Structure 1
């Protein structure tokens, strides 16, 4: 069942967005954009976890979004920052829910992405977009790790 986007703990401090090009260069740009954005926000301590979450979510969107349609699916990456969290959003044109692999699929080549997101994020979920598509989101802490 889709969930709503999480509520912010304070005032929105910053935001950033990128249209994702579904290519090797495009995914390299996604990782660079993630690191540059977090660096600009003085969140270098969250770059590795956030870059991994972003990589998994954008790869899932590119792999599964509108599989039967001609052309390249439009995927949008977004970041929202409040005083305590970074919200990562990845939107694509497919209405199907993301598939969370079972625990016994650990040796499979595919299907582990959302398990990684689940481990690194405080919470994650997805919502349907209007008129079509979905947004998968993950909320990560902005505070330095203890």
Structure 2
């Protein structure tokens, strides 16, 4: 399987921006629970309950990737390891929901489908690819990146 093209710019809203929301969370079990809850609550508020499961799974996978690759290098001001923070973002326009996860790591995400569906790791971006219309990443100068996924707001047929 070949990786999807990786646009390095986030798509622009397809119409007038309807709403936005953002949240900073620590890369921890509690932080990820908060991210999932925030995602469900935000989509419910925006009457997008029909997109809740897919969007929550996409946010969970992107946040897990950010924690796996960005958290090990995080250090506090004292030089001691600190819980890395990631930033979640949601932009809603009339036809699409753009979800973003930003982290302090400069390296691009690695799309590497595994040979076995039974592997415990390495399927996150494959899941994101399957559930979103498109996804990609963009650098965030002076350091870090944002990985994004664009999902339709249309109800399933």
Equivalent-residue separation in structure 1 for 2:47 and 2:144 (angstroms) = 32
SS in 2 for 1:98: coil
The 8 Å contact of residues 2 and 128 in structure 1, kept in 2 or not, is answered as: no
2:125 aligned with 1:114: yes
How far does residue 101 in structure 1 lie from its aligned partner after superposition?
Answer: 1.7
What RMSD in Å do the two structures reach over aligned CA positions?
Answer: 1.3
SS in 2 for 1:65: helix
How far does residue 72 in structure 1 lie from its aligned partner after superposition?
Answer: 2.0
How far does residue 66 in structure 1 lie from its aligned partner after superposition?
Answer: 5.0
| 128, 141, 145: which one aligns with 2:152 | 141
Greater radius of gyration (CA): 2
Unaligned runs of 5+ in 2: 1-5, 76-81
Q: TM-score, normalised by structure 1?
A: 0.95
The 8 Å contact of residues 105 and 111 in structure 1, kept in 2 or not, is answered as: no
How far does residue 108 in structure 1 lie from its aligned partner after superposition?
Answer: 1.9
Equivalent-residue separation in structure 2 for 1:49 and 1:102 (angstroms) = 19
How far does residue 106 in structure 1 lie from its aligned partner after superposition?
Answer: 2.9
Report the number of matched residues: 146
Q: TM-score, normalised by structure 2?
A: 0.88
Equivalent positions of 1:1-146 (< 5 A) are: 3-65=8-70, 67-70=72-75, 71-146=82-157
CA deviation vs aligned residue, 1:77-102 (integer Å, no higher than 9, x gap): 00000000000000000000111122
SS in 1 for 2:42: helix
C-alpha distance 97-2 of structure 1, shift in aligned 2 (>3 A): farther
How far does residue 109 in structure 1 lie from its aligned partner after superposition?
Answer: 1.2
